Amino acid sequence: MIQSMTGYGNCVAEYNGKKIHVEIKSLNSKTLDLSMRVAPLYREKELELRTLIAKQLERGKVDFTLWVEKDEAQMATPVNAELMDAYYQQLKTICKDKDIPEPNDWMTVLLRMPDVLTKIEVEVLAEDEWEVINKAVEKALNDLVAFRKQEGVALAAKLQGNIDRITELLKSIEPYEKGRTEKIRAQIVDKLQNLAGVDYDKNRLEQEMIYYIEKLDINEEKQRLTNHLHYFVDTMADGHGQGKKLGFIAQEMGREINTTGSKSNNAEMQNIVVKMKDELEQIKEQVFNVL
């Protein structure tokens, strides 16, 4: 069954007090248009992530986000106790040598000293943390694919409904088509008979009538359109990855419907053609979202 290009997947994994969030969204696009926002620690793995996403999703405008949420204990800026003690000893010595009174509030003074509250953090991506992230990304991708399949079922039902209605409309042309030939013949003969004093070759008229009526015949267009309708349904059943092919088939269907309309010098037939065009436009709009 076909898949939609619209999808959403997310996953939250935990590692050493960190919550790692993975979110993937996709919309329709002719190619894979991938936008990534990755936390700095994991940017070294961005190429691997791109390869993994491209393998799973194939097409679509994809937004991928990977960010980290840390608990408050990890976010707190640590106090550099050794540096603070060094400042304390130096200040006590200066106060003694210069005969300066020591501060009443040592803590306030020491906490204002340079780098006592400076957070120096150098994170390195561990292999086991990357394994956790990799599994989270795969989970989010699987969720998105499942979403696409679910949307694909609904999309296929809509497209099948449009195809069925075009098929019914095509059949409804037949009653008007059968009487059209005789009506055209009668109109031409009647007009010729009303022309006083004009003599004409009846054999030549018959030849011209046959040629004219053949130019208005739509049997070939009806047969080709019927074939396209069957081919469209068969292609939907082939599975995902058929979006572009379905678009090409819809274009061919449009050609046959347009030709049928141009040959239908009958108001009722032309009204039916307009309704077929409306169904076809709905198909074309939906096909844009088929993977």
Write out pLDDT tens, residues 188-244: 777 666 765 666 666 666 666 666 666 677 888 999 999 999 999 999 988 777 889
Assigned domain for 2 exists: no
Residues 12 and 144 in one domain: yes
* Whole-number pLDDT of residue 82: 80
C-alpha distances in Å from residue 171, one per residue of 38, 157, 160: 56, 21, 17
Q: Does residue 94 sit in the same domain as residue 213?
A: no
The pLDDT assigned to 75 comes to 54
- In this structure, are 138 and 263 located in the same domain? no
Q: Is residue 130 part of a domain?
A: yes
Report the DSSP pairing between strands 18-27 and 32-38.
unpaired
- Residue 118: predicted pLDDT: 65
For the chain, the 3-state helix, strand and coil shares in percent, each to the nearest 5, are 65, 15, 20
Rounded mean pLDDT of 244-270?
89
Instruction: State whether 270 and 176 are in the same domain.
Output: yes
119 within a domain of the structure (yes/no)? no
Model pLDDT, residue 174: 85
181 and 51 fall within a common domain: no
Please give the pLDDT value at position 86.
84
3-state secondary structure of 25: strand
Q: Considering only residues 71 and 44, tell me which one the structure prediction assigns the higher pLDDT.
A: 44
pLDDT at 73: 52
Tens digits of residue pLDDT in 2-39? 899 999 999 999 888 788 999 999 999 888 999 999 98
User: Does the residue 64 lie in any domain?
Assistant: yes
Residue 226 is predicted with a pLDDT of 94
Q: Does a structural domain hold residue 118?
A: no
pTM: 0.72
Number of domains in the chain: 3
Q: Which helix (H) or strand (E) holds 29?
A: none
In a shared domain, residues 52 and 84? no
What is the mean pLDDT of the segment spanning 130-152? 93
Specify whether 226 is located in the same domain as 168: yes
- Residue 59 contacts residue 30 (beta carbons within 8 Å): yes
Q: Is the dihedral of CA 19, 25, 30, 33 positive or negative?
A: negative
Q: 241: which 2 tokens? A: 């990855």
Mean pLDDT of 278-286: 94
Nearest CA-CA partner of 29 in 60, 4, 55: 60
| Of 79-88, 190-199, 251-260, the least confident | 190-199
Query: CA-CA distances (angstroms) from residue 193 to 106, 153, 188, 202?
Result: 123, 61, 9, 12
Is 116 part of any domain? no
Query: Is 27 inside any structural domain?
Result: yes
Judgement on whether residues 243 and 173 belong to the same structural domain of the protein: yes
Task: Determine the angle formed by the axes of helices 127-172 and 174-193, rounding to 10 degrees.
Answer: 40
Question: Which CATH number goes with the domain that contains 142?
Answer: 3.30.230
What pLDDT does 16 receive? 82
Q: Which domain holds residue 97?
A: 79-111
24 occurs within a structural domain = yes
Q: What is the mean pLDDT of residues 247-262?
A: 92
The pLDDT value given to residue 160: 95
How many beta carbons lie within 10 A of that of residue 182, not counting itself? 10
Per-residue pLDDT averaged across 159-182, rounded? 86
User: How many Cα atoms sit within 13 Å of 203 on the Cβ side?
Assistant: 0
203/86 same-domain check: no
| Whether the Cβ atoms of residue 24 and residue 139 lie closer than 8 Å to each other | no
Does residue 138 surpass a pLDDT of 90?
yes
Asked if 160 and 251 sit in the same domain, the reply is yes
Same domain for 100 and 157, yes or no, is no
Q: Is 147 helix (H, G, I), strand (E, B) or coil?
A: helix
The per-residue pLDDT for 8 is 95
Q: Indicate whether 94 and 70 sit together in one domain.
A: no
